């Protein structure tokens, strides 16, 4: 198995989630054990059997230009705001770069679902003349990547992986390839999703994929929990600024994307392969390309949506791939607090994973207690877990899987922080 020619540095990040309007506030809310899941108050949800979701606060859109609020779907708006945050954070490292050598890779699972729903309603109620002429460019999945490229003047290519809930992580893998193949000098990569509307909730609910705990929204998302009953739909976006190690001054990297692995289940359009056979192949490929063994890891961040089939398939894949290391490696399931951001999940959660490595601790997995006895993993419980005090780089495995059998695994790293060793 070939090793990556050069490691990839993270030099900036931005995110919006149900827990915060940027990466720092989201991380602070995670550490404070807050939940981003709330009851939907609008009248359009009154007759739905699912009336809970994770939503980004409207105050997050206050600085977005009125023209973009009218001409961009909420999915693209979230990507624009996260992209601007990452761009600003990377200012020191991107200064002077040729814009034709800066690319964008932003994944999404669905894209402009809100626009599709709204414009179909307009068509049904008022006929063809009521349909917005920008309907198609607003709803197409690549709109977010295109809008970010336009907004920041980036001419090195705008790409959009559409691989359901693995899209954000797949975007990071593609960005890694672009940089290692010397097709770009900097890549803004991540994912965005805005599915919280009547059509989105009805569609996922019809699949019986969503939790029905309307009366207890903060307890509804229960990854790996014995009493889980489905995931909670959420919205958000995450964007990371990535560069080659050789182009980044020592000390500027926030963390590292060491390697990635991918596979496809080739099993079912919705259900994962139950034994996690192909998911484990993605995990093992990522570890091999990172040139590390399971015992070199200090933690795992699981995809873990809170569905019975998905959680068990991932647990079996991790047990198969990690062997005896799975007995003690802390496994963190962030969707207990965030809900499921679909195409935005892989990127927002990767930022959380890097923050976790830098802080030297793995957060608790909300609502995982009592743990499903079939999940034979060291899932973090009611409190955070401190990472070992060591001078070695801390390595973390991050998973992202999606409908259609898409499997992406990443190996992330961050140097130990002085505060963590104090």
Is residue 64 within 8 A of residue 85, CB to CB? The reply is: no
CA atoms of 34 and 58, how far apart (whole Å): 18
Active site residues: 165, 303, 340
Is residue 351 within 8 A of residue 23, CB to CB? The reply is: yes
Nearest in space to 225 (alpha carbons), one of 237, 211, 207, 240: 211
Positive or negative CA dihedral for 66, 68, 71, 76?
negative
- Tell me how far the alpha carbon of residue 326 is from its chain's centroid: 23
Is residue 109 within 8 A of residue 164, CB to CB? The reply is: yes
Nearest in space to 52 (alpha carbons), one of 34, 43, 39: 39
Is residue 87 within 8 A of residue 241, CB to CB? The reply is: yes
CA atoms of 104 and 205, how far apart (whole Å): 33
């Amino acid at each position: 198995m070939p090793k990556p020619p050069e490691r990839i540095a993270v030099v900036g990040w931005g995110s919006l989630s149900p827990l915060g309007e940027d990466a720092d506030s989201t991380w602070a809310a995670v550490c404070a054990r807050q939940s981003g899941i709330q009851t939907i108050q609008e009248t359009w949800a009154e007759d739905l059997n699912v009336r809970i979701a994770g939503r980004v606060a409207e105050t997050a859109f206050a600085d977005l230009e009125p023209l973009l609020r009218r001409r961009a779907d909420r999915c693209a708006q979230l990507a624009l705001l996260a992209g601007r945050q990452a761009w600003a954070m990377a200012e020191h490292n991107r200064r002077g770069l040729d814009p034709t050598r800066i690319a964008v890779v932003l994944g999404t699972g669905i894209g402009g679902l809100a626009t599709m729903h709204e414009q179909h309603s307009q068509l049904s109620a008022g006929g063809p003349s009521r349909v917005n002429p920008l309907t198609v460019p607003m709803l197409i999945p690549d709109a977010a990547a295109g809008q970010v490229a336009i907004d920041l003047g980036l001419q090195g290519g705008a790409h959009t992986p559409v691989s359901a809930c693995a899209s954000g992580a797949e975007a990071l893998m593609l960005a890694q390839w672009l940089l290692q193949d010397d097709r770009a000098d900097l890549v803004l990569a991540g994912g965005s999703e805005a599915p919280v509307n009547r059509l989105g909730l009805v569609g996922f609910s019809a699949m019986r994929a969503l939790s029905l705990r309307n009366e207890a929204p903060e307890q509804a998302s229960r990854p790996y929990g014995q009493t889980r009953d489905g995931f909670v739909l959420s919205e958000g976006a995450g964007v990371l600024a990535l560069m080659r190690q050789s182009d980044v001054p020592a000390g500027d990297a926030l963390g590292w994307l060491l390697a990635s692995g991918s596979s496809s289940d080739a099993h079912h359009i919705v259900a994962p392969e139950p034994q996690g056979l192909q998911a484990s192949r993605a995990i093992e490929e990522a570890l091999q390309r990172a040139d590390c063994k399971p015992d070199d890891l200090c933690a795992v961040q699981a995809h873990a949506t809170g569905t019975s089939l998905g959680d068990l398939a991932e647990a079996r894949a991790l047990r198969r791939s990690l062997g005896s290391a799975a007995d003690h490696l802390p496994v963190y399931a962030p969707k207990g607090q965030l809900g499921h951001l679909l195409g935005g999940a892989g990127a927002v959660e990767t930022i959380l994973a890097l923050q976790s490595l830098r802080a030297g601790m793995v957060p608790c997995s909300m609502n995982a207690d009592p743990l499903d006895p079939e999940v034979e993993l060291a899932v973090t419980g009611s409190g955070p877990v401190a990472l070992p005090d060591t001078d070695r780089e801390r390595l973390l495995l991050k998973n992202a899987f999606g409908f259609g059998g898409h499997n992406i695994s990443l190996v992330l790293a961050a140097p130990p922080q002085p505060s963590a060793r104090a």
